[in-house]
């Protein structure tokens, strides 16, 4: 009796596995290509610039060529290409000028280094200028005090001389 129940359970589990596996295969074969939304296309297109127009991102460019390139991105996504592969495809076709952010190689690394260095240099120059301005004000203040004393001394001396003459 126990063996009979075990055999029934075995056949039942085998049957369930066959049903599930066949339904998965049927879904995989009958499935249409995945629907690619405009947001998915524009996510990649905003990282690319139009090869024809100057300084216009591909996602907002209204030319016929850009519409075709966005459709090409949609096809590549439907084929299973990643965003990195799609960007590399455009770089291979049109060069690095189509990328919104150029790679940090060769001469392009200066784009990533010069702005922070400029900010640091400007801050240092501003610090030094403010510091020298403050010290020059203090020196001028002390010189001004001495010059007033000297003027008073000159005035007093002149008065004393005039009094002596009288």
Q: Contact, 112 vs 104, CB < 8 A?
A: yes
Q: Does residue 128 sit in the same domain as residue 142?
A: yes
**CATH (domain of 76):** 1.10.8.640
Q: Does residue 77 sit in the same domain as residue 124?
A: no
Structural domain including 149 reads 107-165
State how far the alpha carbon of 152 is from the alpha carbons of 117, 140, 141, in Å. Answer: 52, 18, 17
Q: Does residue 8 sit in the same domain as residue 20?
A: yes
* Total-model pTM: 0.50
- pLDDT for 119 equals 92
Q: Does residue 120 sit in the same domain as residue 94?
A: no
- pLDDT for 51 equals 80
Q: Does residue 90 sit in the same domain as residue 149?
A: no
Q: Does residue 12 sit in the same domain as residue 47?
A: no
From first to last of its 166 residues, what are the pLDDT tens digits of the chain?
556 655 665 555 665 555 555 555 444 554 455 687 888 888 888 888 888 887 888 888 888 888 888 899 999 999 888 888 999 998 898 888 888 877 777 777 777 788 888 999 899 999 988 888 877 766 666 555 555 556 667 778 888 888 888 7
- pLDDT for 97 equals 82
- pLDDT for 65 equals 85
Q: Does residue 91 sit in the same domain as residue 114?
A: no
- pLDDT for 33 equals 57
């Amino acid at each position: 009796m126990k063996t009979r129940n075990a055999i029934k359970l075995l056949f039942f589990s085998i049957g369930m596995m066959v049903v599930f596996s066949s339904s998965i295969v049927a879904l995989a074969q009958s499935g249409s290509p995945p629907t690619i939304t405009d947001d998915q296309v524009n996510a990649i297109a905003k990282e690319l610039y139009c090869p024809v127009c100057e300084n216009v991102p591909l996602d907002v460019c209204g030319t016929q060529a850009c519409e075709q390139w966005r459709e090409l991105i949609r096809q590549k996504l439907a084929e299973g290409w990643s965003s990195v592969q799609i960007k590399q495809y455009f770089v291979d076709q049109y060069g690095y000028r189509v990328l919104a952010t150029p790679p940090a190689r060769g001469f392009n690394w200066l784009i990533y280094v010069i702005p922070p260095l400029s900010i640091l240099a400007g801050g240092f120059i501003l610090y030094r200028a403010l510091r020298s301005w403050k010290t020059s004000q203090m020196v001028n203040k002390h010189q001004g005090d001495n010059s007033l004393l000297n003027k008073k001394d000159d005035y007093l001396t002149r008065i004393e001389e005039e009094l002596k003459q009288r």
